[in-house]
Amino acid sequence: MSEFVSSNGYEECRATADWLLSSTKVRPTVGIVCGSGLGGLADMLKDPQVFKYSDIPNFPRSTVHGHAGQLVFGMLKGKPCVCMQGRFHLYEGYPVQKITLPMRVFKLIGVETMILTNAAGGLNKDFKVGDVMIIKDHINLPGIAGVNPLVGPNDDRFGLRFPCMSDAYDRKLGQLAHDVAAELGFKFVKEGVYCAVSGPSFETIAECRMLRTLGADAVGMSTVHEVIAARHAGMRCFALSLISNCTVMEYDSQEKANHEEVLETARQTAAQLEKLVSTIVARMEHSNTSF
């Protein structure tokens, strides 16, 4: 049997979901994925129950600095949530189906809405370091090259063979985010298109220019695969990018992208991002979107 079936099959996901359901009384309806340096979102959960990835059956392990590698269950603004403190990436060597296993497990434990965050490089020249971009759409470069979590036999228990992606990011939640940002006075909240690359090397100048020409406003190494798997399983998705560095577009520039800059920006902006996300969660029931 091929690797993608064994690394993301229904039975495997069901076994993981059943283990989690038997280990906690929390029944989350909201799932949150914390990007690089943004694990503080999980610290906002009330009465947290923490599981290390290494203790969860079938779960991959996060190997990246800035990703704690644990699942946190608890209440956020009165809503039961589960938080991933650390995600998985193609560049860690995992098959794309393994990277997205948590999305399918979340579906099986009752999650209906996914909120995903990441740290990304800004391609749009109007963006500044520290801005937060509401993702309205994505470009899946690995997917164009055939790296898609849905490749292989489709299991109808998860979703349809050919899921629509024109509505990948919930527009009502996007509008709610804009409304919340305006009420909080957060003028640094933008909107744009996120482009996923595989990493781990940062992009060349020519690649950044190409991505901007294609219509991307920010570039990163995550999120898109998770969104595809979540939408395939029928969950709503909302995603934010913290613009942690500005991509280099000019050959005479002395700037160089590095991971420490990403983490430092996340540390500086974490409080505002946590406030934004927690308020969105609190207000979900007051939006025009229903669970």
Catalytically annotated residues: 36, 67, 89, 91-92, 119, 221-222, 245, 259
For 62, the token pair is 């996060």
**15 φ/ψ angles, rounded to the nearest 5 degrees:** -65, -40
Question: 242, 274 in Cβ contact below 8 A?
Answer: no
